[in-house]
Structure 1
Amino acid sequence: MGNPARGDTEVKVAVLMGGWSAEREVSLTSGRGIAAACRTLGHDVTEIDMDRNVAAALTAAAPDVVFNALHGTPGEDGSIQGLMDILGLKYTHSGVTTSAIAIDKELTKRILVPQGIRMPAGRMVASESLYAGDPLPRPYVLKPVNEGSSVGVAIVTDTSNYGNPIARDAAGPWAEFTELLAEPFIAGKELTVAVLGDEALAVTELQPTHGFYDYDSKYTDGLTVHVCPAELPAEITASCLKMALDAHRALGCRGASRSDFRWDPAQGEAGLYLLEVNTQPGMTPLSLVPEQARARGISYETLVQRLIDSAMEGT
């Protein structure tokens, strides 16, 4: 690309956003930012707020490429990717198989742990069983197996107000999901690494001003301090970057991905665990991939153009 503020060739871009997942509003914010960047780049842009007639809307737009700005299901789980494959459309980010695996935290472990990538031990539990007793020693984490943005995550501790065992009338993901993934709670720091193309960009430490890095902390200005690059020992930074890139490659991710970690400094390198890989990372003003790109001297517009180029080239 010659001028990083503008694409070399005008292309027709359909920006697919919105939808009906729990992350709809974040997707709309991402999509609007992407659409504005595409117009700055000189592209012909159609914005599509996905509904059940999305196939007709995509066909009518007849884009050269679809910028997939959806978050959650069905935009992140392989469903929309399969539809676009059927329609013969090029699109940003990962394909059907990678998307279907990466959104499922248990399937992700089955792929990555045999590759030597450390992830927390855990198991699937029936929500109903939580009312009889704990599946793991406290503290532990309960999360839906296929939601993103920390939707439905609960940290169960000896002092949490859920009860012991968890009470039926306690608010939590057990009231919304029939099954949950239970994992040991890892004390320490919340870290994340973006991968763009075939390069891990940086490590960011996320410091919530209250509680943990939940949905509100991710997307509400002022609720989380981002330290980028994270102030870490050199070997931990190197391990984060390597694990994120290895996970990106092992899952077959395309375009951009973002890997989330927990690190317990008391355990050194043995305390670094990859939690999940996000194949549709956010592109809002508070999102981590654009922030890490900026730290590497890559503007938002250039980031958008690189993702479009990747989709057009099928890499």
Structure 2
Amino acid sequence: MTGKKHVVVLMGGWSSEREISLLSGTNVGKALETAGYRVTLLDMDRDIAFKLQEAKPDVVFNALHGTPGEDGSIQGLMDLMGICYTHSGLTASAIAIDKELTKKILTPDHIPMPTGVVVSRESLYQKDPLPRPYVLKPVNEGSSVGVAIIDKDFNDGQPIRKDQKGPWQNFKTLLAESFIKGRELTVAVMGDKALAVTELCPNNGFYDYQAKYTDGMTTHICPADIPEEIADAAMAMALKSHQLLGCRGPSRSDFRWDDEAGLQGLFLLEVNTQPGMTPLSLVPEQAKQLGIDYVGLCRMIVEEALAEPSLSQIKSQETKMAGQSG
């Protein structure tokens, strides 16, 4: 036991994606034990700083989804504690979970994204923020939580009513985006490589939270049966977005492609810095296409994190250099 690296798998928490995080974390823990690590599973609660200090991990595998595990909060805590962890750091996490901020970072570098505007829910009861059809989604949520498509027939063409079920009942501000018709594509990135393109074909026509995590609700086609130039473009955009946002470890970029518009119909929707690791998840599926099994993928994620200098190591080195220069 003494020679094994100790990995704490951080999972659960209190976000709307808690159950998926628990499933991801349990699977990751089993895989890492198979890979030869000493593993501790931690369900995050308000005493997490104390529990991490007590556990003394060599590295934390961040299997949290949603806030505060995906928005930079837990990343900032672990940075302050000098703990090594997997996946993206504070800055990339905080930017990527904010859909409006992500647009501001990526679109100037020629990453096409749907036209969008942040609106208050009260304004939705007065008039549509964009021509129909358009999409409403929370500014800071993942996994298609709280997404609604407002088409021409919604409420007989009238503005949204307060009593109608939808994300406006749970969020004070929302992002309204032009609806991109067509097909759902996704690309995983690991390190400096885009892995593959998967087409997602949900049974109900929309790849929502239920479709993502319910077995049999969505057909995955990997690699996607699409023209080579579309696949190349999606993979290039995913890698460039990963790099522009400063992501590390695995990320997943989601796209809509209007196949009637060719290359001009390909739009990035969002970048997910904490992609799922459940049996239905897309990153393990794409890694498998490249001959990387689940255990090997988990090992790669951990080893990349261990090779990355921690914030405390960087600060220590800066202090040492400052002392030498003085």
TM band (smaller chain): over 0.9
Measure the CA separation in 1 of the matches of 2:205 and 2:153: 13
- Could you tell me which residue of structure 2 aligns to residue 290 of structure 1? 284
Larger radius of gyration between Structure 1 and Structure 2: 2
Displacement of 1:162 after TM fit? 8.0
Aligned to 1:48: 42
1:39 is matched with 33
Per-residue CA deviation, residues 141-177 of structure 1 (Å, 9 max, x unaligned), is 0000110000000000112358621111100000110
Residue in 2 that maps onto 1:126: 120
> Deviation digits for residues 201-253 of structure 1, max 9, x if unmatched?
00000000113000000000000000000000110000000000000011110
- Alignment gaps of 5+ in structure 2: 310-326
1:93 aligns with 2:81: no
Which residues in structure 2 correspond to 1:72-151 (within 5 Å)? 72-151=66-145
Take 2:109 and 2:179, find their aligned partners in 1: how far apart are those partners? 23
Aligned residues, how many?
Answer: 307
TM-score norm. by structure 1 comes to 0.96
Partner of 2:314: none
Paired letter, 2:151: T
RMSD: 1.0
Is 1:153 paired with 2:128? no
Match in the other structure for 2:313: none
Residue in structure 1 matched with residue 205 of structure 2 by the alignment: 211
Q: Is the 8 A contact 1:156 1:162 kept in 2?
A: no
* Uncovered stretches (5+) of structure 1, i.e. residues with no partner: 1-8
Matched, 1:71 2:84: no
| 1:82-110 Cα shifts (integer Å, max 9, x gaps) | 00011110000000000000000000011
Q: Which runs of 4+ in 1 moved over 6 A?
A: none
Identity %: 64
Alpha-carbon distance between aligned partners in 2 of 1:88 and 1:163, rounded to the nearest angstrom: 54
Choose 156-165 or 194-203, whichever is displaced more. 156-165
Alignment partner of 1:249 out of 209, 222, 243: 243
Equivalent residue for 1:176, pick from 164, 170, 181: 170
Partners of 2:307 and 2:225 lie apart in 1 by 36
